């Protein structure tokens, strides 16, 4: 193999190593914490918070209604007792009782609406709980497959690194130095016909000649990449 071909192979192994490391990191993160579970835990937590909030409103509303009910009863008692003789006072009190009754009816209706909210909140908690259970089950079922995949990738990674180092060792030191100096990524490109496959600029005829002989590295005059004959 020419130095350019060795470097092309080397670059392919570098790319594969990076892809493997990314896949390994993503899968390890997934095994550490499954985003599907985290999302459903958040949904369940919000549903529970809503349930608590509605329960608080229901307790408050119960208290207020109980309070109003006992006041209404004591007023009604007073009205029926016959102690109040003054007609104006009687009319006033009977108006007050009528008003309290009307308010009590409104409060009952409001109470019914809060109870509906409470039912809806309970249902949200039930369904969020079920979704979380499903996600946890799926996640657990996926785990052995992911662990097998991790083991396979780790084995491939070890092979890739071994081959990469072996290829690099075959590249003459001055070509290694040139390759390492190039900042553009990837630092090597094939030649398609007479064009640099990375930037599509035509390679000079002298460049093509050296490339065909294969005894020295040629760089693209435009992008600076090392060129490899196809």
Q: Which residues bind Zn ion (CB under 5 A)?
A: 196, 198-199, 220, 222-223
Question: Is the Cβ of residue 47 or residue 196 nearer to Zn ion in the bound state?
Answer: 196
Please count the other Cβ atoms lying within 10 Å of the Cβ belonging to residue 119.
Answer: 11
CB of 219 to Zn ion, least distance (A): 8
Question: Is the Cβ of residue 162 or residue 230 nearer to Zn ion in the bound state?
Answer: 230
CB of 197 to Zn ion, least distance (A): 8
Question: Is the Cβ of residue 98 or residue 201 nearer to Zn ion in the bound state?
Answer: 201
Scanning the structure block, which residue is given the tokens 């006033």?
92
Question: Is the Cβ of residue 160 or residue 196 nearer to Zn ion in the bound state?
Answer: 196
Q: Which residues, listed in sequence order, are joined to residue 227 by a DSSP beta bridge?
A: 189, 218
Closest by CA to 223, choosing from 192, 202, 193, 206, is 202
CB of 225 to Zn ion, least distance (A): 5
CB of 195 to Zn ion, least distance (A): 8
What DSSP state is assigned to residue 230? -
92-107 burial by CB neighbour count: b if 16+ within 10 A, else e? Answer: ebeeeeeebeeeeeee
190, two tokens: 């094939």
């Amino acid at each position: 193999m020419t130095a350019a071909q060795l470097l092309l192979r080397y670059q392919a192994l570098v790319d594969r190593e990076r892809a493997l490391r990314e896949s390994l990191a993503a899968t390890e993160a997934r095994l550490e914490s499954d985003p599907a579970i985290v999302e459903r835990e958040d949904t369940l937590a919000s549903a529970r918070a809503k349930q608590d909030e509605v329960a608080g409103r229901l307790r408050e509303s119960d208290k207020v209604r109980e309070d109003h009910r006992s006041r209404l009863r004591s007023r009604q008692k007073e009205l029926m007792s016959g102690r109040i003789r003054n007609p104006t006072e009687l009319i006033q009190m009977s108006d007050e009782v009528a008003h309290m009754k009307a308010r009590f009816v409104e409060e009952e209706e409001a109470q019914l609406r809060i109870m509906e909210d409470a039912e809806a909140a309970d249902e949200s908690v039930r369904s969020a709980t079920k979704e979380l259970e499903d996600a946890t089950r799926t996640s657990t079922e996926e785990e052995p497959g992911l662990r097998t995949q991790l083991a396979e990738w780790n084995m491939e990674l070890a092979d890739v690194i071994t081959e990469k180092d072996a290829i690099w060792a075959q590249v003459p030191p001055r070509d290694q130095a040139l390759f390492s100096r190039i900042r553009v990524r990837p630092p090597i490109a094939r030649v398609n016909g007479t064009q640099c496959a990375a930037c599509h600029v035509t390679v000079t005829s002298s460049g093509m000649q050296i490339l065909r002989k294969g005894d020295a590295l040629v760089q693209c005059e435009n992008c600076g990449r090392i060129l490899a004959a196809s």
